[in-house]
Amino acid sequence: LEMMDRPLGPFDPDLVAMLVEATEELGVDLRTKAKVAKIEKQGDEFVVTVERPDGTETVTCDLVVHGTGRVPNIDRLNLEAAGVEYTRRGIKVNTAMRTSNPAIFAAGDCADSGLNLTPVSAAEGRVAGKNLLAGKDARKVKYPPIPSVVFTLPMVATLGLSEAAARERGLTFDTHFEKTEGWYSSLRVGAKRTAYKVLVERGSGQILGAHLIGPGAEEQINLFAMAMGAGQTANQIKAMIFAYPSYASDIGSMV
């Protein structure tokens, strides 16, 4: 049950459409524009009341999994008494992960800082720990291009700007979009829904965003993150010689 028009809003819509098709082929009944209004336990089953544009319906199931995202678990910390400021997004911190109370640090999902991802939380935790032990702001958190992966079947990965975000910024770019089920890396594992969409800025050749679906996406996106973090251009990526056959060897053909 997805409340919005489509699942995975921050991810590329073309690739998400492919994921939805693959998910439905696996027998998953995916319903969009479906707002959960009530969940009731009836015997060994759950009855979920759903509000949709065309009316209300119920879904009977064995198990309900709540997957609407994270919220900071800070309600019972009495942060006001410690002079720690916070919002709905979490505890306010600076780049040293220090709160409005200089003696208190916050990092990870409870802070209103970076993305709610495990490696981001780990990076923030290292900064907070270093500064706490040093007794000063010895280190500040820096956020390089951060990839995000959904480990579905097939996997979907995203990094950097979407097409819509790039247009909103007034950037001029070329979109490299292709379905790759005919590529060897897909054929050798029988992957039917694989594709990439890479945004390359005109003139500079900088990678603005990379969006992938298929086997190996979780590793390919890390290579794009390294390239973007190092400021490599599309031509520099094409010039790299990777081990073959490997998923990494595909990225030169994606830019």
| Domain-embedded: residue 140 | no
Question: Does the residue 72 lie in any domain?
Answer: no
CATH number of the domain enclosing 228: 3.30.390.30
| pLDDT per residue as tens digits for the range 121-130 | 999 999 999 9
Determine contact, residues 210/198, Cβ cutoff 8 Å: yes
* Whether residues 156 and 249 fall in one domain: yes
pLDDT for the residue numbered 70: 76
Does 139 reside within a domain? no
In order along its 255 residues, the chain shows pLDDT tens digits of: 999 999 999 999 999 999 999 999 999 999 999 999 999 999 999 999 999 999 999 999 999 998 877 788 898 999 999 999 999 889 999 999 999 999 999 999 999 998 889 999 999 999 999 999 999 999 999 999 999 999 999 999 999 999 999 999 999 999 999 999 999 999 999 999 999 999 999 999 999 999 999 999 999 999 999 999 999 999 999 999 999 989 999 999 999
186 and 233: one domain?
yes
Classify residue 85: in a domain, yes or no: yes
Show which of 134, 156, 178 is a domain's final residue. 134
Q: How far apart are CA 230 and CA 219, in angstroms?
A: 17
Q: Do 160 and 245 belong together in one domain?
A: yes
Structure tokens at 129: 């720990």
Residue 52 is part of a domain; what is its CATH number? 2.40.50
Does residue 54 belong to any structural domain of this protein?
yes
Q: Please name which of 8, 1, 12, 45 lies closest in space to residue 158, comparing C-alpha atoms.
A: 12
Counting the structural domains of the chain, the total is 3
- What lies within 8 Å, CB to CB, of 149 at 6+ separation is 155, 156, 157, 158, 217, 218, 221
pTM higher than 0.85 for the full model? yes
- The confidence score (pLDDT) of residue 67 equals 87
Task: For residue 70, tell me if it sits in a domain.
Answer: no
Is the domain of 42 the same as that of 88? Answer: no
The dihedral through the CA atoms of 61, 65, 69, 72 has a sign that is: positive
Query: 141 with 94: CB under 8 angstroms?
Result: no
Contact indicator for 193, 18 with CB cutoff of 8 Å: yes
Residue 189 lies in a domain: yes
- Residues 164, 242, single domain; the answer is yes
Do 125 and 185 belong together in one domain? Answer: no
CA distance 169 to 154: 31
Query: What is the structure's pLDDT at 31?
Result: 94
Q: In terms of domains, do 191 and 229 share one? A: yes
- Looking at the fold, whether 17 and 52 belong to one and the same domain comes out as yes
Same domain assignment for residues 215 and 118: no
Same domain, 105 and 200: no
Q: What is the pLDDT of residue 175?
A: 98
Residue 224 lies in a domain: yes
**252 in Cβ contact with 240 (< 8 Å):** yes
118 shares its domain with 56: no
Give residue 191's pLDDT.
Answer: 94
**Beta bridge mates, 175:** 199
Domain around 85: 79-134
- How far is Cα 81 from Cα 240, in angstroms, rounded to an integer? 56
Residues 111 and 153 in one domain: no
pLDDT in the model for residue 174: 98
